[in-house]
């Protein structure tokens, strides 16, 4: 009798055929094997469909959902579609340009959630790499529930592609909200009202840093969404005013000339990772 997967891994992709197989291989290489991989092909126009067909022939646990029309920037809708179609008790996330560097990531997180039923979500550490695979930085998020809550409004307390969370809790809070940016941060804050939060102090994901100029161009919109999220959760987590002030200063910073912001981006990002 075939066992249902305990973990459903949601992986959206669009025209990343040169990196997609690396991400999929990092799932297949996990020591914990009771999973399904739901790849949402968001109307790719490259060879993504053929690559996914080949992977499906190798492993029946890989399921593909294909969007006939590209739905970007509605990433929330794409991810919610993946969750709605999932069979697992737990949900994990992976992006097409990232990959898991710890082969026991899923095993460690399942063990934690199985042993701690009061917890809704568990994450881990991230290693940033450039497009050539060279390490740029690495960071761990705050581990314990009390510390995570204390700083939850200052910065995103979890790295998205390191997390595993309970599907039932995500469903109970309505899944990802329809936001253009930081939809994951908002979901963690909503889930934190239903259960406890934790980060394992180990590195789980290699995160590809690319398109920094694009990120800087959209910085104003990202920060406006951040301020919206902070206001929405102001009564649920502490230190609303200093958190709002800090991010409002970031909004003012987004109005600086692009060359100056580009020059300051790396040291300021490093500072934020170290502090929050």
- Per-domain residue ranges of the chain: 7-212
Q: What confidence category does residue 265 fall into, taking pLDDT thresholds of 50, 70 and 90?
A: confident
CA distance 80 to 83: 5
pLDDT of residue 169: 98
Looking at domain 7-212, which of 3.90.550.10, 3.10.580.10, 2.60.40.10, 3.20.20.80 is its CATH number?
3.90.550.10
Measured CA to CA in angstroms, residue 272 lies from 60, 94, 275 at distances of: 42, 23, 5
Q: What confidence category does residue 263 fall into, taking pLDDT thresholds of 50, 70 and 90?
A: confident
Tell me the average pLDDT across 212-223: 75
Are the CB atoms for 70 and 42 separated by under 8 Å? yes
DSSP H/E element including 220? helix 219-232
What's the pLDDT tens digit per position in 177-217?
999 899 999 999 999 999 999 999 999 999 998 765 556 66
Assess whether pLDDT exceeds 80 at residue 134. yes
What's the pLDDT tens digit per position in 4-25?
899 999 999 999 999 999 999 9
pLDDT of residue 91: 98
pLDDT of residue 94: 98
Q: Is 267 exposed, middle or buried (0-12, 13-18, 19+ CB in 10 A)?
A: exposed
Assess whether pLDDT exceeds 90 at residue 163. yes
DSSP code of residue 3: P
End-to-end alpha-carbon separation of the chain, Å? 47
pLDDT of residue 258: 84
Assess whether pLDDT exceeds 80 at residue 241. yes
Q: DSSP of 161-218, one letter per residue?
A: GG-EEEHHHHHHTTSS-S-SS-HHHHHHHHHTTTSEEEEEEEEEEEEE---HHHHHHT
- Check: pTM over 0.75? Answer yes or no: yes
Q: What confidence category does residue 49 fall into, taking pLDDT thresholds of 50, 70 and 90?
A: very high
Assess whether pLDDT exceeds 90 at residue 269. no
> 186: Cβ–Cβ under 8 A, 6 or more apart, which residues?
176, 177, 179, 229, 232, 233
pLDDT of residue 213: 53
What's the pLDDT tens digit per position in 57-94?
999 999 999 998 888 778 999 999 999 999 999 999 99
Share of the chain above pLDDT 90, in %: 82
CA 218, 155, 105, 113 torsion-angle sign: negative
Assess whether pLDDT exceeds 60 at residue 1. no
Q: Nearest-CA neighbor of 271 among 258, 253, 259?
A: 253
């Amino acid at each position: 009798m075939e066992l249902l997967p305990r973990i459903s891994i949601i992986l959206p992709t669009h025209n990343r055929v040169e990196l997609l197989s690396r991400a999929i291989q990092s799932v297949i290489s996990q020591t914990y094997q009771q999973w399904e991989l739901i790849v949402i092909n968001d109307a790719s126009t490259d060879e993504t469909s053929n690559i996914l067909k080949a992977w499906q022939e190798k492993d029946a646990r890989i399921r593909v959902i294909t969007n006939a029309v590209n739905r970007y920037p509605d990433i929330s809708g794409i991810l919610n579609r993946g969750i709605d179609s999932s069979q697992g008790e737990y949900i994990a996330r992976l992006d097409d340009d990232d990959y898991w560097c710890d082969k026991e990531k899923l095993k460690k997180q399942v063990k934690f959630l199985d042993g701690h039923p009061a917890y809704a979500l568990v994450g881990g550490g991230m290693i940033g790499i450039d497009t050539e695979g060279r390490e740029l930085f690495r960071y761990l998020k705050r581990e314990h529930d009390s510390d995570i809550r204390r700083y939850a409004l200052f910065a995103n307390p979890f790295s998205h592609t390191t997390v595993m969370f309970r599907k039932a809790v995500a469903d109970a809070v309505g899944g990802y909200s329809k936001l253009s940016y930081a939809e994951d941060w908002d979901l963690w804050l909503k889930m934190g009202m239903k259960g406890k939060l934790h980060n394992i102090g180990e590195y789980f994901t290699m995160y590809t840093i690319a398109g920094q100029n694009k990120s800087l161009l959209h910085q104003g919109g990202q920060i406006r969404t951040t301020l919206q999220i902070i206001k929405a959760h102001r009564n649920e987590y502490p230190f609303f005013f200093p958190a709002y002030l800090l991010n409002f200063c970031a909004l003012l910073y987004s109005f600086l000339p692009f060359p100056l912001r580009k020059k300051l981006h790396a040291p300021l990002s490093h500072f934020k990772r170290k502090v929050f």
